[in-house]
Structure formats: C-alpha cells, structure tokens
C-alpha cells in the first residue's frame, strides 16, 4: 500500500530554495517582520491570516484567481476582509528571483522579506521508483482504479498520493486507507463511494463549501436556483458582531441542495449539516420541517434554503 502523501511543490525560480514552506512555519524561532506568500490556495490564505494576526506585515501574491474551487462571492468577501486586516493582496504578480531577503517580482518591483512558498502540493513519489514495479503515475499522483488498486495489481494506493476522485483532505485519506485495506485483503469488494466533500478554509472569518459551485453547475448545464443571504443581521451573527456572514445555497428545480457556500464564524460546523443534507438526498421542504435547537446556527438553516 502506497500512502506517502504529498510534498510542497518546489518554487522553480532562481533562489527558490530560500523560500520556506508550510512545513517550516512552526519551526521559525523569530517572527519575521515581512512575509511574502506566493500562492492563493487555502494554505496561503490560512498562513496569511495567522501571520498577520501575529503582527507580521504580509504580502499575498495571487497569480490568477484566489481560492479557485470556492464560490466567487464568498471569496470576494474573504479577500475584502483580508485587505481590511492589512494584508497586501496583489493580483497577476509572481516572484521571479530571490536573492537573500530581496524578492524581485514579475512587474520588476522588489520586496524585502521572508518568502513562504504555498504554490501547491505534489505527490510524494520521487524516491519510490514506481516504474520498477510497473506502477503508473502522473502529476496528479499514483493512478488507481475504483478499488484504489494501482496498475500493479499487487499494490494499492490511498490518501493524497493516490489520484482518485477525492480531494486531498484528511477525512478522505482515512476513508481511502480503510477501503484500500479491505480491497487488498478481500479482493476488490469495496469500490470508492461518491460522497460530498465539505471543505473549510480556516481563516478569520472562515469560509466553507460542499457540493457544486455556480460555475460548476453552469458548466454541467444543471438547472439551479441560487439563494443568497446576508447573514450579518441574523441574531446568530449579530450577537458576535460577525459582519461578513453570508450564505449561498444552490437548489435543484425539485428542491435538492446541490451546493452550499458559507463565510462566517459558524461556517466550519454548519457546512457539515449541508453535507449531511446532500448525502441523504433531502429536499429543502424536508429540511424546513425539521426542528433544530434554538438559538444555534443550524436553527437558521430553514431560512437559508
Ligand atoms: C498546511 C496544511 C494544512 C492542511 N489543512 C487541512 C485541513 O484543515 N483539513 C483537511 O482535511 N486536510 C488538511 N490538509 C491536508 C491533509 O494534511 C492531508 O489530506 C492528509 O494529511 C493526507 O493524509 P495521507 O495519509 O495521505 O498523507 P500524509 O499525512 O502526508 O502522510 C504521508 C506520510 O508518508 C511519509 N512518507 C512519504 N514518503 C515516504 C517514503 N518514501 N517512505 C516512507 N514514508 C514516506 C511522510 O513522511 C508522511 O508521514 C492540510 C495540509 C497541509 C499541508
């Protein structure tokens, strides 16, 4: 069983080795004065918020779009909040050279600081010599079938290193480990199930998603209704002064939840409820008739869908 995970993608520019990665941040002995974060995924945003709140100056270099898999409106609110707390967000810019603590950017300007490379993660397979065992892989990981079996029938792969349809997240690594082990011992009896994948970016405020985004629904030609709600005036959020809280719920024409997109302090817990609703194929009429404990963020759900 191959379960070697992923490693940070190297920053392929002159001096790129000087950049630290998310693995190194917690080993820093001194808080850097200025951190230049390259990337715009969840690791880039989470560390930008952590370091800014520790008091660092933070510059976030976004090559194209921030947090691409997430809903655009939710991301816009997060980026606004990111700028509001003093993070310098720059679009269409990337570093081209690092020399000591001087970073040259693609617009010929320079910055002085520590570079944090958050440009993504790649499968950790370099030292495994997979070709010697007839195991095929590509940039997305070790190729597997629905039973997590590789192109060598005696070898399985699970977790971030496996190129399955699952996202590279802890709950799915655990699920794949269990399924691959069962198939290994019991001859491919358990195909990988299709499950909603709730995902959170642990910024302050956090954002969360599960299911389809508007872009994905459009691309798949799915007929949907989009329900947007500014939640900041709901008592749940007003009493904690959460001014960013917002929800966007996508419903199918027959009332099933296709996707849920949230920003706000309750988003990380609330997204699990939407995942449960999707997983159990519940309609909004069904959910509206459930009684939730009040006052909790779940008790607002009937107003959101
Ligand atoms: C900064 C950061 C934040 C994250 N936040 C979240 C989050 O909030 N929620 C979430 O769900 N997921 C999060 N993730 C993703 C999550 O960490 C991974 O999805 C999960 O750890 C994958 O588990 P895994 O067992 O496949 O791989 P890993 O946990 O990476 O474990 C792989 C192990 O294999 C070892 N290994 C590698 N190569 C070899 C080799 N040749 N020989 C022997 N051992 C080897 C590695 O040292 C490692 O111990 C985050 C990841 C990062 C980097």
**Mean pLDDT calculated for residue range 23-39:** 96
Q: Which atom of ligand 1 is found nearest the CA of 167?
A: 19
Q: What is the pTM of this model?
A: 0.96
Q: In what order do the strands lie in the sheet with 114-117?
A: 88-91, 57-62, 34-38, 114-117
Instruction: Identify the pLDDT of residue 65.
Output: 95
Take atom 37 of ligand 1 and give the residue whose Cα is closest.
4
Instruction: Identify the pLDDT of residue 298.
Output: 95
Instruction: Identify the pLDDT of residue 5.
Output: 98
**What pLDDT digit, counting tens, does each position of 144-179 carry?**
999 999 999 999 999 999 999 999 999 999 999 999
Q: Which atom of ligand 1 is found nearest the CA of 168?
A: 19
CA distance 263 to 138: 34
Residue 89 has which token pair? 């967000």
Instruction: Identify the pLDDT of residue 124.
Output: 98
**What pLDDT digit, counting tens, does each position of 235-265 carry?**
999 999 999 999 999 999 999 999 999 999 9
Q: Which atom of ligand 1 is found nearest the CA of 7?
A: 30
**Mean pLDDT calculated for residue range 25-38:** 96
226: confidence class by pLDDT, cuts 50, 70, 90: very high
Any ligand 1 atom below 6 A from CB of 5: yes
Whole-number Å distance, alpha carbon 3 to ligand 1 midpoint, is 9
């Amino acid at each position: 069983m191959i379960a070697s995970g992923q490693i940070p993608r190297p920053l392929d520019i002159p001096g790129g080795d000087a950049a630290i990665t998310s693995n190194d941040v917690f080993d820093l002995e001194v808080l850097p004065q200025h951190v230049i974060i390259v990337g715009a995924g969840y690791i880039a945003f989470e560390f930008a918020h952590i370091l800014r709140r520790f008091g660092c100056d933070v510059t976030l270099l976004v090559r194209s779009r921030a947090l691409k898999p997430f809903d655009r409106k939710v991301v816009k609110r997060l980026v606004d909040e990111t700028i509001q707390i003093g993070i310098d967000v720059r679009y269409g810019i990337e570093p081209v050279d690092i020399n000591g603590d001087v970073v040259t950017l693609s617009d010929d300007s320079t910055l002085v600081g520590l570079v944090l490379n958050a440009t993504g993660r790649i499968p950790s397979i370099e030292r495994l010599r997979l070709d010697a065992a007839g195991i095929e892989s590509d940039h997305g990981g070790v190729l597997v079938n629905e039973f997590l079996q590789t192109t060598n029938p005696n070898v399985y792969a699970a977790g971030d290193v496996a190129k399955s349809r699952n996202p590279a997240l802890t709950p799915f690594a655990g699920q794949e480990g269990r399924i691959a082990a069962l198939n290994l011992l019991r001859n491919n009896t358990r195909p990988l199930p299709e499950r909603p994948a709730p995902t959170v970016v642990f910024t302050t405020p956090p954002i969360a998603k599960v299911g389809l985004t508007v872009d994905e629904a459009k691309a798949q030609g799915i007929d949907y209704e989009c329900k947007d709600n500014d939640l900041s005036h709901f008592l749940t959020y007003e009493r904690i002064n959460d001014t960013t809280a917002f929800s966007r719920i996508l419903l199918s024409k027959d009332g099933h939840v296709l996707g849920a997109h949230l920003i706000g302090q309750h988003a990380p817990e609330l997204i699990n409820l939407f995942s449960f609703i999707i997983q159990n194929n519940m309609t909004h009429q069904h959910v509206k008739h459930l009684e939730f404990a009040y006052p909790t963020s779940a008790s607002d759900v009937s107003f959101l869908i």
